[in-house]
Amino acid sequence: MPIIDGKKISIQLFSEIRHEVEILKTRDNLNPGLAVVIIGDDPASQIYVNAKVKRAKELGINSFKYELPETASQDEVLNLVRELNVRNDVNGILVQSPPPPGIDEQLINETIDPSKDVDCFNPYNVGKLTIGDETGFLPCTPAGILVLLKRYDIPTEGKHAVVLGRSNIVGKPMALLLSSKRVNSTVTICHSRTVGLDKISAEADIIVAAIGKPNFVSADMVKNNVVIIDVGINRVSAPESKKGYKLIGDADFENVCEKASFITPVPGGVGPMTIAMLMYNSVKSCCIQNDVELPKSLI
Protein backbone atom coordinates (compact mmCIF):
# COMPACT_ATOMS: atom_id res chain seq x y z
CA MET A 1 0.00 0.00 0.00
CA PRO A 2 1.74 3.20 -1.14
CA ILE A 3 2.21 5.96 1.39
CA ILE A 4 1.59 9.49 0.15
CA ASP A 5 4.73 11.28 1.23
CA GLY A 6 3.66 14.84 1.96
CA LYS A 7 7.06 15.74 3.32
CA LYS A 8 8.75 14.78 0.05
CA ILE A 9 6.20 16.65 -2.08
CA SER A 10 6.42 19.72 0.15
CA ILE A 11 10.20 19.79 -0.36
CA GLN A 12 9.63 19.74 -4.15
CA LEU A 13 7.16 22.60 -3.76
CA PHE A 14 9.53 24.64 -1.62
CA SER A 15 12.12 24.40 -4.35
CA GLU A 16 9.57 25.46 -7.00
CA ILE A 17 8.38 28.36 -4.84
CA ARG A 18 11.96 29.49 -4.16
CA HIS A 19 12.41 29.61 -7.93
CA GLU A 20 9.26 31.76 -8.33
CA VAL A 21 10.55 34.13 -5.64
CA GLU A 22 13.85 34.44 -7.52
CA ILE A 23 11.95 35.30 -10.71
CA LEU A 24 10.00 38.02 -8.92
CA LYS A 25 13.20 39.44 -7.48
CA THR A 26 15.21 39.46 -10.69
CA ARG A 27 12.51 40.02 -13.32
CA ASP A 28 10.21 42.39 -11.45
CA ASN A 29 12.36 43.77 -8.65
CA LEU A 30 9.76 42.54 -6.15
CA ASN A 31 10.22 40.76 -2.85
CA PRO A 32 7.14 38.97 -1.47
CA GLY A 33 6.40 39.80 2.17
CA LEU A 34 4.31 37.83 4.65
CA ALA A 35 3.08 39.26 7.96
CA VAL A 36 2.22 36.74 10.65
CA VAL A 37 0.27 37.90 13.69
CA ILE A 38 -0.02 35.89 16.87
CA ILE A 39 -2.19 36.91 19.80
CA GLY A 40 -1.37 35.40 23.20
CA ASP A 41 1.17 32.73 24.05
CA ASP A 42 -0.49 29.42 23.21
CA PRO A 43 2.50 27.05 22.81
CA ALA A 44 1.07 25.17 19.79
CA SER A 45 0.31 28.44 17.98
CA GLN A 46 3.84 29.70 18.75
CA ILE A 47 5.29 26.55 17.16
CA TYR A 48 3.12 26.94 14.02
CA VAL A 49 3.93 30.64 13.66
CA ASN A 50 7.67 30.13 14.12
CA ALA A 51 7.64 27.35 11.52
CA LYS A 52 5.89 29.66 9.02
CA VAL A 53 8.29 32.55 9.64
CA LYS A 54 11.33 30.25 9.35
CA ARG A 55 10.10 28.65 6.13
CA ALA A 56 9.30 32.03 4.58
CA LYS A 57 12.85 33.23 5.27
CA GLU A 58 14.31 30.07 3.75
CA LEU A 59 12.38 30.71 0.54
CA GLY A 60 13.48 34.34 0.29
CA ILE A 61 10.08 35.70 1.37
CA ASN A 62 10.31 38.64 3.79
CA SER A 63 8.52 37.74 6.99
CA PHE A 64 7.25 40.07 9.67
CA LYS A 65 6.13 38.60 12.97
CA TYR A 66 3.80 40.54 15.26
CA GLU A 67 3.16 39.28 18.78
CA LEU A 68 0.21 40.78 20.61
CA PRO A 69 -0.44 39.99 24.29
CA GLU A 70 -3.28 37.72 25.39
CA THR A 71 -4.93 40.88 26.75
CA ALA A 72 -4.95 42.68 23.37
CA SER A 73 -8.32 44.24 22.58
CA GLN A 74 -10.34 43.61 19.44
CA ASP A 75 -9.54 47.16 18.28
CA GLU A 76 -5.79 46.67 18.74
CA VAL A 77 -5.90 43.55 16.60
CA LEU A 78 -8.04 45.16 13.90
CA ASN A 79 -5.88 48.29 13.86
CA LEU A 80 -2.77 46.19 13.30
CA VAL A 81 -4.49 44.36 10.45
CA ARG A 82 -5.54 47.70 8.92
CA GLU A 83 -1.93 48.95 9.13
CA LEU A 84 -0.68 45.80 7.41
CA ASN A 85 -3.39 46.11 4.76
CA VAL A 86 -1.88 49.36 3.48
CA ARG A 87 1.81 48.48 3.72
CA ASN A 88 3.50 47.97 0.37
CA ASP A 89 6.11 45.58 1.74
CA VAL A 90 3.44 43.26 3.19
CA ASN A 91 1.70 41.15 0.54
CA GLY A 92 0.19 38.41 2.67
CA ILE A 93 -1.38 38.64 6.14
CA LEU A 94 -2.06 35.73 8.40
CA VAL A 95 -3.53 35.95 11.91
CA GLN A 96 -2.86 32.67 13.70
CA SER A 97 -6.02 30.80 14.63
CA PRO A 98 -7.54 30.45 17.14
CA PRO A 99 -7.33 33.90 18.78
CA PRO A 100 -7.87 34.11 22.56
CA PRO A 101 -11.44 34.18 23.87
CA GLY A 102 -13.07 37.58 23.44
CA ILE A 103 -11.50 38.22 20.04
CA ASP A 104 -13.87 37.80 17.10
CA GLU A 105 -12.02 35.75 14.51
CA GLN A 106 -14.59 36.38 11.81
CA LEU A 107 -14.20 40.14 12.21
CA ILE A 108 -10.44 39.73 11.74
CA ASN A 109 -11.00 37.66 8.59
CA GLU A 110 -13.37 40.29 7.20
CA THR A 111 -10.84 43.06 7.90
CA ILE A 112 -7.91 41.46 6.08
CA ASP A 113 -7.64 42.92 2.58
CA PRO A 114 -8.88 40.15 0.23
CA SER A 115 -5.78 40.58 -1.95
CA LYS A 116 -3.60 39.81 1.12
CA ASP A 117 -5.77 36.99 2.49
CA VAL A 118 -3.29 34.14 2.07
CA ASP A 119 -5.29 31.80 4.34
CA CYS A 120 -8.43 32.33 2.23
CA PHE A 121 -10.63 33.09 5.23
CA ASN A 122 -12.05 36.43 4.01
CA PRO A 123 -15.66 35.92 2.85
CA TYR A 124 -14.78 37.51 -0.50
CA ASN A 125 -12.26 34.79 -1.26
CA VAL A 126 -14.53 32.10 0.19
CA GLY A 127 -17.18 33.39 -2.23
CA LYS A 128 -14.78 33.15 -5.16
CA LEU A 129 -13.93 29.61 -4.15
CA THR A 130 -17.63 28.79 -4.03
CA ILE A 131 -18.31 30.04 -7.56
CA GLY A 132 -15.18 28.44 -8.98
CA ASP A 133 -13.34 31.73 -9.61
CA GLU A 134 -9.67 30.84 -9.31
CA THR A 135 -8.34 34.39 -9.28
CA GLY A 136 -8.56 34.45 -5.47
CA PHE A 137 -6.65 32.29 -3.01
CA LEU A 138 -7.25 28.63 -2.33
CA PRO A 139 -7.35 27.56 1.32
CA CYS A 140 -4.00 26.04 2.27
CA THR A 141 -4.87 22.61 3.69
CA PRO A 142 -7.50 21.58 1.08
CA ALA A 143 -5.36 22.95 -1.77
CA GLY A 144 -2.36 21.05 -0.44
CA ILE A 145 -4.44 17.87 -0.50
CA LEU A 146 -5.33 18.42 -4.15
CA VAL A 147 -1.65 18.84 -4.96
CA LEU A 148 -0.95 15.50 -3.28
CA LEU A 149 -3.69 13.77 -5.27
CA LYS A 150 -2.36 15.31 -8.47
CA ARG A 151 1.30 14.49 -7.88
CA TYR A 152 0.44 10.89 -7.04
CA ASP A 153 -1.73 10.64 -10.17
CA ILE A 154 -4.72 9.60 -8.13
CA PRO A 155 -7.87 9.79 -10.29
CA THR A 156 -10.61 11.99 -8.87
CA GLU A 157 -13.07 12.46 -11.74
CA GLY A 158 -16.35 10.67 -11.09
CA LYS A 159 -15.04 9.25 -7.83
CA HIS A 160 -17.11 9.32 -4.67
CA ALA A 161 -15.25 11.47 -2.14
CA VAL A 162 -16.46 11.49 1.45
CA VAL A 163 -15.30 14.41 3.57
CA LEU A 164 -15.50 13.84 7.31
CA GLY A 165 -15.87 17.24 9.00
CA ARG A 166 -17.47 20.51 7.89
CA SER A 167 -15.22 23.19 9.40
CA ASN A 168 -14.62 26.43 7.51
CA ILE A 169 -10.88 25.71 7.51
CA VAL A 170 -10.85 22.17 6.16
CA GLY A 171 -14.09 20.25 5.60
CA LYS A 172 -16.22 22.78 3.73
CA PRO A 173 -13.54 24.16 1.38
CA MET A 174 -12.30 20.62 0.78
CA ALA A 175 -15.76 19.58 -0.34
CA LEU A 176 -16.00 22.62 -2.62
CA LEU A 177 -12.64 21.91 -4.25
CA LEU A 178 -13.33 18.21 -4.71
CA SER A 179 -16.65 18.97 -6.39
CA SER A 180 -15.16 21.74 -8.58
CA LYS A 181 -14.98 21.33 -12.35
CA ARG A 182 -11.24 20.93 -12.04
CA VAL A 183 -11.53 17.85 -9.81
CA ASN A 184 -15.00 16.49 -10.62
CA SER A 185 -15.53 14.17 -7.69
CA THR A 186 -19.00 13.47 -6.31
CA VAL A 187 -18.88 14.63 -2.73
CA THR A 188 -20.64 13.68 0.49
CA ILE A 189 -19.96 15.71 3.65
CA CYS A 190 -20.35 14.03 7.03
CA HIS A 191 -20.37 15.67 10.46
CA SER A 192 -21.28 14.91 14.05
CA ARG A 193 -25.01 14.70 13.27
CA THR A 194 -24.66 12.41 10.27
CA VAL A 195 -26.64 9.20 10.62
CA GLY A 196 -25.01 6.04 9.28
CA LEU A 197 -21.60 7.59 8.72
CA ASP A 198 -19.89 4.20 8.62
CA LYS A 199 -22.11 3.06 5.73
CA ILE A 200 -21.39 6.26 3.80
CA SER A 201 -17.64 5.99 4.36
CA ALA A 202 -17.71 2.36 3.26
CA GLU A 203 -18.85 3.51 -0.20
CA ALA A 204 -16.13 6.11 -0.60
CA ASP A 205 -13.38 5.94 -3.20
CA ILE A 206 -11.63 8.80 -1.43
CA ILE A 207 -11.98 9.69 2.25
CA VAL A 208 -10.73 12.99 3.66
CA ALA A 209 -10.83 12.70 7.45
CA ALA A 210 -10.81 16.08 9.23
CA ILE A 211 -12.58 15.68 12.53
CA GLY A 212 -9.86 15.60 15.17
CA LYS A 213 -10.65 12.19 16.71
CA PRO A 214 -7.79 9.70 16.99
CA ASN A 215 -8.26 6.41 15.12
CA PHE A 216 -11.86 7.35 14.21
CA VAL A 217 -11.74 5.80 10.74
CA SER A 218 -11.46 2.06 11.28
CA ALA A 219 -10.84 -0.74 8.78
CA ASP A 220 -14.49 -1.84 8.79
CA MET A 221 -15.58 1.68 7.74
CA VAL A 222 -13.71 1.60 4.42
CA LYS A 223 -13.76 -0.45 1.25
CA ASN A 224 -10.79 -2.07 -0.47
CA ASN A 225 -8.56 0.24 -2.49
CA VAL A 226 -9.87 3.39 -0.82
CA VAL A 227 -7.65 6.49 -0.85
CA ILE A 228 -7.36 7.91 2.66
CA ILE A 229 -6.30 11.49 3.25
CA ASP A 230 -5.84 11.96 6.97
CA VAL A 231 -5.93 15.60 8.03
CA GLY A 232 -6.37 14.99 11.77
CA ILE A 233 -3.60 15.87 14.17
CA ASN A 234 -4.24 14.31 17.57
CA ARG A 235 -1.84 14.30 20.48
CA VAL A 236 -2.04 11.01 22.40
CA SER A 237 -0.10 9.78 25.39
CA ALA A 238 3.01 7.72 24.53
CA PRO A 239 5.08 7.05 27.64
CA GLU A 240 7.73 5.31 25.48
CA SER A 241 8.52 8.49 23.54
CA LYS A 242 10.84 11.19 24.92
CA LYS A 243 8.11 13.80 24.82
CA GLY A 244 5.60 11.51 26.52
CA TYR A 245 3.16 11.92 23.64
CA LYS A 246 2.91 11.32 19.92
CA LEU A 247 0.83 12.71 17.08
CA ILE A 248 -1.62 10.47 15.27
CA GLY A 249 -4.30 11.05 12.69
CA ASP A 250 -8.05 10.43 12.48
CA ALA A 251 -7.56 7.07 10.77
CA ASP A 252 -6.53 3.84 12.45
CA PHE A 253 -3.44 3.80 10.27
CA GLU A 254 -2.16 0.26 10.83
CA ASN A 255 -5.48 -1.39 10.16
CA VAL A 256 -6.85 0.76 7.34
CA CYS A 257 -3.47 0.50 5.63
CA GLU A 258 -4.26 -3.06 4.66
CA LYS A 259 -7.26 -1.98 2.62
CA ALA A 260 -6.14 1.41 1.28
CA SER A 261 -4.56 1.92 -2.13
CA PHE A 262 -3.02 5.17 -0.91
CA ILE A 263 -2.83 6.77 2.50
CA THR A 264 -1.27 9.87 4.05
CA PRO A 265 0.64 9.28 7.29
CA VAL A 266 0.47 11.54 10.35
CA PRO A 267 2.86 13.20 10.72
CA GLY A 268 4.42 13.67 7.28
CA GLY A 269 1.28 13.66 5.14
CA VAL A 270 -1.03 16.65 4.88
CA GLY A 271 0.70 18.84 7.51
CA PRO A 272 3.78 19.82 5.46
CA MET A 273 1.55 20.64 2.48
CA THR A 274 -0.40 23.26 4.43
CA ILE A 275 2.69 25.37 5.01
CA ALA A 276 3.85 24.86 1.42
CA MET A 277 0.55 26.22 0.11
CA LEU A 278 0.78 29.19 2.46
CA MET A 279 4.15 30.04 0.93
CA TYR A 280 2.67 29.61 -2.55
CA ASN A 281 -0.22 31.95 -1.66
CA SER A 282 2.27 34.52 -0.34
CA VAL A 283 4.00 34.57 -3.72
CA LYS A 284 0.62 34.74 -5.44
CA SER A 285 -0.41 37.70 -3.25
CA CYS A 286 2.70 39.61 -4.33
CA CYS A 287 1.84 38.94 -7.98
CA ILE A 288 -1.81 39.96 -7.56
CA GLN A 289 -0.94 43.25 -5.86
CA ASN A 290 1.72 44.18 -8.37
CA ASP A 291 -0.20 43.00 -11.39
CA VAL A 292 2.56 40.69 -12.60
CA GLU A 293 2.34 37.19 -14.05
CA LEU A 294 1.07 34.64 -11.53
CA PRO A 295 3.15 31.60 -10.59
CA LYS A 296 2.00 28.46 -12.36
CA SER A 297 -0.91 26.74 -10.65
CA LEU A 298 0.16 23.77 -8.55
CA ILE A 299 -3.14 21.93 -8.81
Closest separation between CB of residue 129 and ligand NDP, Å? 16
Is 89 an annotated catalytic residue? no
Is 74 an annotated catalytic residue? no
Complex with ligand NDP: residue 159 or 166, whichever CB lies closer: 166
Closest separation between CB of residue 233 and ligand NDP, Å? 4
Complex with ligand NDP: residue 13 or 30, whichever CB lies closer: 13
CA 168 to CA 174: how far, in whole Å?
9
List contacts with ligand NDP (CB under 6 A). Answer: 141, 164-167, 169-171, 190-194, 197, 210-213, 231-234, 270-271, 274
Is 52 an annotated catalytic residue? yes
**HEC-encoded secondary structure of the chain:** CCECCHHHHHHHHHHHHHHHHHHHHHHHCCCCEEEEEEECCCHHHHHHHHHHHHHHHHCCCEEEEEEECCCCCHHHHHHHHHHHHCCCCCCEEEECCCCCCCCCHHHHHHHCCHHHCCCCCCHHHHHHHHHCCCCCCCCHHHHHHHHHHHHCCCCCCCCEEEEECCCCCCHHHHHHHHCCCCCCCEEEEECCCCCCHHHHHCCCCEEEECCCCCCCECHHHCCCCCEEEECCCEEEECCCCCCCEEEECCECHHHHCCCCCEECCCCCCCHHHHHHHHHHHHHHHHHHHHCCCCCCCCC
Closest separation between CB of residue 146 and ligand NDP, Å? 14
Q: Do strands 92-95 and 160-164 pair parallel, antiparallel, or not at all (unpaired)?
A: unpaired
> Which region holds residue 144: left if phi is over 0, alpha if psi is between -120 and 50, else beta?
alpha
Active site residue: 113, 117, 119, 252, which one?
119
Closest separation between CB of residue 24 and ligand NDP, Å? 26
Complex with ligand NDP: residue 221 or 283, whichever CB lies closer: 221
Complex with ligand NDP: residue 87 or 191, whichever CB lies closer: 191
Complex with ligand NDP: residue 60 or 267, whichever CB lies closer: 267
Closest separation between CB of residue 108 and ligand NDP, Å? 16
Complex with ligand NDP: residue 82 or 191, whichever CB lies closer: 191
Closest separation between CB of residue 274 and ligand NDP, Å? 3
**Catalytic positions, written as ranges:** 52, 96, 119
